[in-house]
Chain A
């Protein structure tokens, strides 16, 4: 096995108030892998994402990204959230171009290339996600699905080695969501960045990822790490095939188990028992695949 691109070893994160968000978690992600993190809400999925992004320090344990300590700016990272967070005073082109204005080596040539090379680069990417000619539009002129496409473009424009997606399709209707799964898969197949996807949607995780990690309720740990070998490119029709449905069903059962785990406290797990001061995980409706 080669050196993993992202390596969390026994990482614990405790927030200021004493809440343990993550306890003794280990996770290894190889270069070019597509890993999905699923689990009950509030289980620390987003905490892992922020850790890897270098936005949050680990309370204890080790975290290496590309063999180094993760600090903003060391590894080229793209980030996309559920909320597309486009800047309303810029048009779509300038919004997507924002990373080039900040990240080296693009930053160096920004003033010189923004109208030429970079604009073309943005245009090409927009075209690839089906937003051809939308560069001059303002964010409020686009639909939610289009904004999310633009947000993906912004996360990819600087050719990141690592792409972090925090429920990027969570706020979309199911048709648009499935469309964007296809798009996300295509983008990944084209550029092969390492991807860490946090999601509530098990079908989404199974459709997109090579590996699905199921987490327990807070304080989170990884309960199950499962490799998926459905052939690529995967299709929506394929996601209704028996093998796929069985997998989603199994993941679903695992999460149902994980949700009940800290509540009964009978498993002899001291960490789970100490987590009883946390609010119980609610929001079961999104768990249904």
Chain B
């Protein structure tokens, strides 16, 4: 490793993924030009970018709305998920009783619950927050419960012999042990939370990226629809990155072997 133009493996990986991204959009652009496809079907990335810049004042409030809704739903979902996970994971009986119920709830397609929320709370922000919350609960519950159930019995013995109360064991051993599981689930939940928000916005709202995309597609403004998609993707990646960063900070001990595995 003496040559100076050789990049470190880490930097090389980054350059490669950046190139892959650029290459993807480049190919897309090229394919559109070559096949001369109408922008009503598939707009070129450059057109989408132009729309994004042009219509920013119009798009911005929708973006903020979707972001806020998602964050609110995600936060509520995670808190509820942690509580439920603690409840279920700390006792065998609770686990057995609640698990089928949980699986049942989580297999309901979330599109189906939006109308119910609309009936209860009217259309607008609240159904979107609730949908996003409901959709992000399940991964958190399952992971926290699994993490809690995973404490080594020997370690528990060491503490029990000292006269540790259940609370001591939970606080000193089980909870830290469950943290990596929790953070792994956060990364899944944050992307799901977006799905929930956009879903509800599409069905029953007058604000947000989902609603904006509905209207744009009704007007055959396909570049605008794609602009919405790009915004959603950017938001999703950004929040994913934030969760990952938290994960690294909080549970670096659990991932000493793997370098930052995501971009």
Contact = CB atoms under 8 A, between A and B. Distances in A.
A79 B168 CA distance: 17
Interface string A217-253: 0000000000000000000000000000000000000
A260 interface: no
A109 B179 CA distance: 28
Contact of B256 (A72, A140, A154): A140
A57 to B, nearest CB: 13
B106 to A, nearest CB: 30
B154 A89 contact: no
B161 A72 contact: yes
A200 B155 CA distance: 22
A81 interface: yes
A72 B254 contact: no
A105 to B, nearest CB: 12
Contacts of A85: 152, 154-155, 158
B238 interface: no
Counting chain A CB atoms within 10 Å of each CB, the highest count among B164, B179, B251, B254 belongs to: B164
Given A83-B154, A85-B152, A87-B155, A55 B162 contact: no
Interface in B70-98: none
Interface of B is mostly: helix
Interface string B152-169: 101101111111100010
Interface residues of A, number: 28
Contacts of B253: 88-89, 138
A79 B157 CA distance: 8
Interface in A38-79: 50, 53-55, 72-74, 77-79
B173 interface: yes
A193 interface: no
Interface in B155-191: 155, 157-164, 168, 172-173, 176, 179
Interface stretch (A95-103, A120-128, A175-183, A184-192): A95-103
A102 B164 contact: yes
Contact of A102 (B152, B154, B163): B163
A154 B251 CA distance: 23
A83 B254 CA distance: 18
A87 B173 contact: yes
Most chain-B Cβ atoms within 10 A of its Cβ — which of A83, A88, A98, A102?
A102
Contacts of B164: 72, 102
Contacts of B162: 72-73, 77, 99, 102-103, 158
Nearest to A138: B253
Given A88-B253, A88-B254, A89-B253, A81 B154 contact: yes
A145 B180 CA distance: 27
B163 A103 contact: yes
B157 A98 contact: no
Given A72-B162, A140-B256, A102 B155 contact: no
Contact of B157 (A53, A103, A158): A53
B253 to A, nearest CB: 4
A34 B172 CA distance: 31
A74 B256 CA distance: 39
B157 A102 contact: no
B153 to A, nearest CB: 10
B161 A77 contact: yes
Contacts of A55: 157, 160-161
A158 B173 CA distance: 19
Given A53-B161, A158-B162, A102 B168 contact: yes
Contacts of A99: 162
Interface string A76-118: 0111110101011100000000110111100000000000000
A89 B179 CA distance: 10
Contacts of A89: 176, 179, 251, 253-254
Contacts of A54: 161
Given A87-B173, A89-B253, A138-B253, A73 B158 contact: no
A98 B158 CA distance: 10
B147 to A, nearest CB: 13
Contact of A73 (B152, B155, B163): B163
B255 to A, nearest CB: 11
Contacts of A138: 253, 256
Contact of B161 (A79, A87, A88, A140): A79
A88 B164 CA distance: 19
A101 B173 CA distance: 12
Given A50-B157, A158-B162, 7 more contacts: A53-B161, A55-B157, A74-B163, A79-B157, A79-B158, A88-B253, A164-B161
Interface of B: 152, 154-155, 157-164, 168, 172-173, 176, 179, 251, 253-254, 256
Listed from nearest, the 8 A-B pairs whose CB atoms lie closest are A73-B163, A89-B253, A85-B155, A102-B162, A102-B164, A79-B161, A77-B161, A88-B253
